[in-house]
Amino acid sequence: MSKSYRDGLPISPENFVDQLMRLKRGSIGRRDFLGLTGLGIATAVMAREIGIMPTPAFAAESLGDRMSIATWPNYHDPATFENFKKDTGVAVEVNVFGSNEEMLAKLQAGASGWSLFVPTNYTISTYKKLGIIEPLEMAKLPNFDGSQEDPRFTGEGTIDGTIYAVPKNWGTTGFAVNTKKLTKPMTSWKEFWDTAMAEGDSRTMVHDYQLTTIGNALKYYGYSFNSLKQDELAKAEELLLKVKPHLFAVSSDYQPGMRAGDAWMTMCWTNDGAQLHRDIPEIAYVLGKEGGEIWTDFYAIPKDAPNKPAGCALLNYLMNPQVAVKEHLANGAPSTDARVNKLLPKEVLDNPILYPAADLLTPLEFGAAATLTDPGRAELMARFKSA
């Protein structure tokens, strides 16, 4: 019996598990497809519900010799962590994540093992509400200077006057257009959606992310990016369902399509816009004049951080403008810190993709916590994707 069962087996159980782990590790460097491989969540959930994994012990006040950080793909200068290790003896393990939701799920499950992580503005209040993060010990962060930060970007890190997170960098969500293929100049989300159904037919991409895809569909009608109103969402859904058959893809991994020339237009985040334009000058980055999203990524320390002193020390190190400027040159996102902006080369500061004109920034909205966790928007997105 067991012999014949083994015979027909094309792959051994051991080999299969091995393959699965390979898949899990197979990061491709884009948020979306890291999300695809997010098998880690299952383990994390199991650990919380069943208690298989031990809770991390708190280290003594010494920095120890290792810590881990959870962050986004291509978001740091690797030399930063090398230098930190040289200075302090602490080796930094970098965990790269696909989405804020995935990060949240892992932290909520407990035992994440991170001593520092990089949440986006709209998740911080949720982390605080769930008791997952603690106020930062500002005395241990002398390199952070609140007076040099633009208050527009620091706001969501501070809850009821207490600082829970300090900003890493900010950015916007606009769209990228291949101006050789789509020659008509565009300045609005209305033109984005209309073009997707006309000249940009079967060449347009939208994010696989309800926050931005629904938010920018709401902007077609001039509604708030964060709207939770039934009637407004119904209008957005109508537009999305109308556009769906004309789309090239629903995916947040839009760089390959744009670079290969298969896609001519896509919803796009600042860093990707800057990278695409740098390599392919005819790809322009447009902010919709109706508004849309502005965002800030923050640094925060989880309550159950196994090496809080090292997390604090690394955060302080990263807040040093001399270090931070290298980080910005490596990942390409604009800085919130006036001291860093002074050190950045002129061509970076003059790049309108990274530092758009003030009047374009005025109508932009920060994504709200309720927008992200709203079940109604999640179901709308599912109907759009399955249409």
Partner 1 sequence: MLLGPATAWLVVFLVLPFIAIAVFSVGERAPEGGYQAAFTLAQYANLPARATAFWNTMVLAPVGALACLLVAYPVAYYLALRAPQRWRLILLALVVIPFWTSLLMRTYAWMYILGGRGIPALLAFVGIEDVRLINTPGAVLLGIVYGYLPLMILPIYVSLERLDRRLLEASADLGATPLSTFLGVTLKLSLPGVMTGFSLVMILLLGEYLIPTLLGGGKVFFIGNALVDLFLQSRNWPFGSAIAITLVLVSVVVLIAANRISTRVSGARRVDLI
Residue ranges in contact with partner 1 by CB under 8 A: 2, 4-5, 7-11, 13, 19, 22-23, 26, 28, 33, 35-38, 41-42, 45-46, 49-50, 98-99, 101-102, 104-105, 108, 126, 129-130, 202, 205, 208-210, 244, 247-251, 256-257, 259-262, 373, 375, 378-379, 381-382, 385-387
Q: Is 214 helix (H, G, I), strand (E, B) or coil?
A: helix
Residue 185: partners with Cβ closer than 8 Å, 6 or more residues away: none
Which residue from 325, 198, 335 is spatially nearest to 270, judged by alpha carbons? 335
Residue 118 CB, nearest approach to partner 1 (Å): 17
Residue 100 CB, nearest approach to partner 1 (Å): 10
Which residue from 96, 367, 54, 325 is spatially nearest to 210, judged by alpha carbons? 367
Residue 212 CB, nearest approach to partner 1 (Å): 12
Residue 249 CB, nearest approach to partner 1 (Å): 3
Identity of the residue, 24 or 342, whose beta carbon is nearer to partner 1 in the bound complex: 24
Identity of the residue, 52 or 349, whose beta carbon is nearer to partner 1 in the bound complex: 52
Residue 322: partners with Cβ closer than 8 Å, 6 or more residues away: 343
Give the whole-angstrom CA distance, residue 272 versus residue 253. 10
Q: Is 39 helix (H, G, I), strand (E, B) or coil?
A: coil
Identity of the residue, 229 or 385, whose beta carbon is nearer to partner 1 in the bound complex: 385
The residue behind tokens 């896509």 is 266
Residue 285 CB, nearest approach to partner 1 (Å): 20
Q: Is 245 helix (H, G, I), strand (E, B) or coil?
A: helix
Identity of the residue, 49 or 347, whose beta carbon is nearer to partner 1 in the bound complex: 49
195, two tokens: 């073009």
Identity of the residue, 101 or 199, whose beta carbon is nearer to partner 1 in the bound complex: 101
Strand 204-206 versus strand 265-269 pairing type = parallel
Residue 84 CB, nearest approach to partner 1 (Å): 30
Distances 361 to 174, 176, 213, 315 between C-alpha atoms, Å = 11, 17, 19, 28
Residue 89 CB, nearest approach to partner 1 (Å): 35
Identity of the residue, 7 or 347, whose beta carbon is nearer to partner 1 in the bound complex: 7
- Number of helices and strands in the chain (H, E): 20, 12
Identity of the residue, 4 or 362, whose beta carbon is nearer to partner 1 in the bound complex: 4
Identity of the residue, 5 or 57, whose beta carbon is nearer to partner 1 in the bound complex: 5
Residue 372: partners with Cβ closer than 8 Å, 6 or more residues away: 100, 101, 122, 123, 126, 211
Identity of the residue, 210 or 307, whose beta carbon is nearer to partner 1 in the bound complex: 210
Distances 376 to 61, 220, 231, 232, 339 between C-alpha atoms, Å = 45, 19, 12, 12, 42
Strand partners, 158: 163
Which residue from 385, 307, 258 is spatially nearest to 117, judged by alpha carbons? 307
Residue 53 CB, nearest approach to partner 1 (Å): 14
Identity of the residue, 328 or 377, whose beta carbon is nearer to partner 1 in the bound complex: 377
Strand partners, 94: 69
Residue 284 CB, nearest approach to partner 1 (Å): 19
Residue 375 CB, nearest approach to partner 1 (Å): 7
Element (H, E) at 294: strand 292-299
